[in-house]
C-alpha cells in the first residue's frame, strides 16, 4: 500500500512563511527488494525492459524550464560491458545556458518556497510510487545497461523510493517541530535557502543522483542538476518521473555539463546558496576552494555538503567466523566491481586465519565475473576505461596494535567492519569506529538502508550529513523565525507607568 498522509491537516498558514501543519504524520516503510526469481513478474518485466534497450540510443537534451535545449557539444554514454552500444546521446550545457538555467530557477524560487511542505511531499511520494511500480523495470534496466550493474545492484538503487518517501516523512515531521508559542502569539520557522543549489551527482548510484537533486527541492529550494556523464540514461529517467509526478518545470534544471565549466559558472554566481556533491575528493576540495576564493561575491554563505568515498576496512579477529568473513568480503569488495562508496578496499586478517581465508577468497573470486545483463552474473565491468586503468600483507596476530592501522593509514572515514565472535573483543572494535562514519559488527561494510543507517563519513570522506536520516534535510533549510501576534498592542505604555 502506498504511503498516505495520516491525521487531519487542519492548521491554517501563518503569514509570510511556508504553510505549517499541526498534528501531521506520515507513515512509511522501506521498499522491499524484489527477488527476480525465474518466472516472477518482476523478472519478466525487467527482461522486457532490457530487450527494449538493445541497440537503442536515447537522445537526452538539457532541460531548462520546459524547454529542451541542444548545444553543439554532443557526447555519448557507452555501456560499460558493451562499448559498441551508445546508450545515450546528450550534450553539455555551456556557460550561457547554465546562466539561463540559474535565472529561470531563481524566478521560480519564491513561489515554490512558499508552497505548503505537504504539496512537495505529495509530489515525491507520487514519484516514489511510480519508481516502485510502473517505472521500476525501466529505471532498473537503464541502470544496468548504462552503469554496468547486475540485477541485484540495480535493484538496490530502488532505495531512491525510500529516499523520496522518508524525506517526505522527515519534512512533514520537521514542520511539526516549531518553537514554543505563548498566547497571544504564534511562532514558526523553516524556509528554503535563498538562491539556488547545485547538485553534482555520481555515476555509481542512480538513487544518490535523484536524492542529491530531490532533497533540496523538497525543502523549498531550486536546483541545477549536473548528472554524471556515465549515469545519464538513468538520471534522465528519474528527472522525467519527477516532472510527471507534478514537479513544476523550473524547480530542477537538468543540465549535463563539463565539470570545470559547471564549477566555474556556479561559483561565479552571487546566488549560489548550496552545493550537494558526491564524487572524488580532489573535485570537492576544488569546489570548496573556489567558493572560498569568491566568498565575498555571494549573497549568503553557501552550504557545502559532500561525500567523497573512503578506504573502507574489514578488521578480522582470530575468533571470527571464516565463512562470514569470506562471504561478507566478497560482497563488499567485489559487488559492482568495488565501485560503491562503501566497498571494502582494506582487509586486516591475522596470520592464523590467512591461509584459510586466502584459499577461500581465491576459490570464490573466480566465479564472480560476467556481463551485467546475464542474470547469473555477480560482478560486471567497471564503469569506463579511466577506472579500469586505476585497478592494480596481512597482519601478525596482534589485534589491538593492528586497530591503530585502521585509523592511521588513510585520511578517509566512511565505513568499516569488525568480524569477531569473542565477546570481549567486539567492544574493543569500537576503536575502529573513529575511522568510520558507518560501522558494522559481524557484517560487511556495505548495505546501509535509508531510515535505518543514515550514510556518510567525516574527514576526507566528506561532511557527514547522513542522507537517509532526519538530519539531512535540515541542511537544505534556512530557519526564519516568524512571530504573529493575534492581539493588537493597544497602548505603548507599560503597566508600571500607569
Supply the residues annotated as catalytic. 307
| Tally of CB atoms within 10 A around 270 | 12
Strand pairing partners for 277?
A: 200, 306
Question: Cα–Cα distances in Å, from 335 out to 143, 295, 339, 382, 405?
Answer: 15, 41, 8, 11, 25
Question: Cα–Cα distances in Å, from 443 out to 108, 168, 390, 413, 489?
Answer: 46, 30, 27, 17, 63
What DSSP string runs through 272-310? EEEEEEES-HHHHHHHHHHHHHTGGG-SSPPEEEEE---
Rg (CA), the chain: 24
Strand pairing partners for 135?
A: none
Q: How many residues does the chain have?
A: 498
**Dihedral of alpha carbons 487, 488, 492, 498, sign:** negative
Q: Which three cell numbers stand for residue 272?
A: 549560489
Contact 232/255 with Cβ under 8 angstroms? no
Distance CA 73, CA 96 (A): 13
Contact 438/342 with Cβ under 8 angstroms? yes
Strands 252-254 and 222-226: parallel
- Degrees (nearest 5) of the Cα angle 407, 412, 416? 65
State residue 125 phi and psi, 5-degree precision: -65, -40
Contact 100/64 with Cβ under 8 angstroms? yes
Question: Cα–Cα distances in Å, from 311 out to 212, 341, 385, 412, 430?
Answer: 22, 9, 21, 6, 17
Contacts of 46 (CB under 8 A, 6+ apart): 36, 137, 140, 141, 151
CB burial of residue 293 (10 Å; 0-12, 13-18, 19+): exposed
Amino acid at each position: 500500500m502506498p504511503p498516505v498522509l495520516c491525521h487531519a491537516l487542519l492548521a491554517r498558514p501563518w503569514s509570510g512563511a511556508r504553510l505549517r501543519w499541526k498534528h501531521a504524520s506520515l507513515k512509511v516503510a522501506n521498499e522491499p527488494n524484489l527477488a527476480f526469481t525465474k518466472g516472477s513478474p518482476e523478472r519478466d518485466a525487467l527482461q522486457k525492459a532490457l530487450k527494449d534497450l538493445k541497440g537503442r540510443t536515447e537522445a537526452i537534451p538539457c532541460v531548462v524550464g520546459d524547454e529542451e535545449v541542444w548545444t553543439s557539444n554532443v557526447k555519448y554514454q557507452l555501456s560499460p560491458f558493451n562499448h559498441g552500444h551508445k546508450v545515450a546521446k546528450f550534450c553539455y550545457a555551456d556557460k550561457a545556458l547554465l546562466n539561463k538555467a540559474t535565472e529561470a530557477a531563481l524566478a521560480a524560487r519564491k513561489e515554490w518556497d512558499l508552497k505548503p511542505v505537504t504539496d512537495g511531499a505529495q509530489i515525491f511520494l507520487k514519484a516514489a510510487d511510480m519508481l516502485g511500480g510502473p517505472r521500476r523495470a525501466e529505471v532498473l534496466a537503464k541502470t544496468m545497461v548504462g552503469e554496468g550493474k547486475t540485477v541485484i545492484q540495480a535493484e538496490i538503487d530502488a532505495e531512491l523510493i525510500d529516499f523520496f518517501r522518508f524525506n517526505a516523512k522527515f519534512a512533514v515531521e520537521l514542520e511539526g517541530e516549531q518553537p514554543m508559542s505563548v498566547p497571544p502569539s504564534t511562532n514558526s520557522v523553516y524556509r528554503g535557502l535563498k538562491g539556488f543549489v547545485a547538485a553534482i551527482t555520481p555515476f555509481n548510484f542512480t538513487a544518490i543522483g535523484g536524492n542529491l537533486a530531490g532533497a533540496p527541492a523538497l525543502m523549498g529550494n531550486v536546483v541545477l542538476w549536473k548528472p554524471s556523464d556515465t549515469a545519464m540514461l538513468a538520471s534522465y529517467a528519474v528527472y522525467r518521473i519527477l516532472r510527471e509526478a507534478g514537479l513544476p518545470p523550473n524547480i530542477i534544471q537538468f543540465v549535463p555539463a563539463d565539470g570545470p565549466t559547471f564549477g566555474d559558472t556556479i561559483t561565479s554566481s552571487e546566488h549560489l546558496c548550496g552545493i550537494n556533491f558526491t564524487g572524488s575528493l580532489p573535485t570537492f576540495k576544488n569546489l570548496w576552494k573556489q567558493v572560498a576564493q569568491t566568498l565575498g561575491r555571494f549573497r549568503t554563505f553557501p552550504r557545502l555538503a559532500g561525500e567523497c568515498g573512503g578506504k573502507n576496512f574489514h578488521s578480522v579477529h582470530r575468533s571470527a567466523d571464516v565463512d562470514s568473513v569470506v562471504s561478507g568480503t566478497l560482497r563488499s569488495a567485489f559487488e559492482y566491481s568495488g565501485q560503491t562508496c562503501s566497498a571494502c578496499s582494506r582487509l586486516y586478517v591475522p596470520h592464523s586465519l590467512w591461509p584459510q581465508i586466502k584459499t577461500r577468497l581465491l576459490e570464490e573470486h573466480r566465479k564472480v565475473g560476467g556481463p551485467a545483463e546475464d542474470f547469473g552474473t555477480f560482478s560486471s565491468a567497471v564503469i569506463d576505461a579511466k577506472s579500469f586503468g586505476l585497478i592494480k600483507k596481512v597482519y601478525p596476530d596482534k589485534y589491538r596494535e593492528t586497530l591503530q592501522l585502521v585509523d592511521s593509514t588513510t585520511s578517509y572515514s566512511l565505513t568499516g567492519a569488525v568480524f569477531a565472535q569473542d565477546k570481549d573483543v567486539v567492544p574493543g572494535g569500537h576503536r575502529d569506529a573513529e575511522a568510520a562514519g558507518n560501522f558494522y559488527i559481524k557484517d560487511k561494510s556495505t548495505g546501509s538502508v535509508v531510515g535505518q543507517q543514515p550514510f556518510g563519513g567525516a574527514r576526507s570522506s566528506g561532511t557527514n550529513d547522513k542522507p537517509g536520516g532526519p538530519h539531512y534535510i535540515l541542511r537544505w533549510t534556512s530557519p526564519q523565525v516568524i512571530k504573529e501576534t493575534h492581539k493588537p498592542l493597544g497602548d505603548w505604555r507599560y503597566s508600571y507607568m500607569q
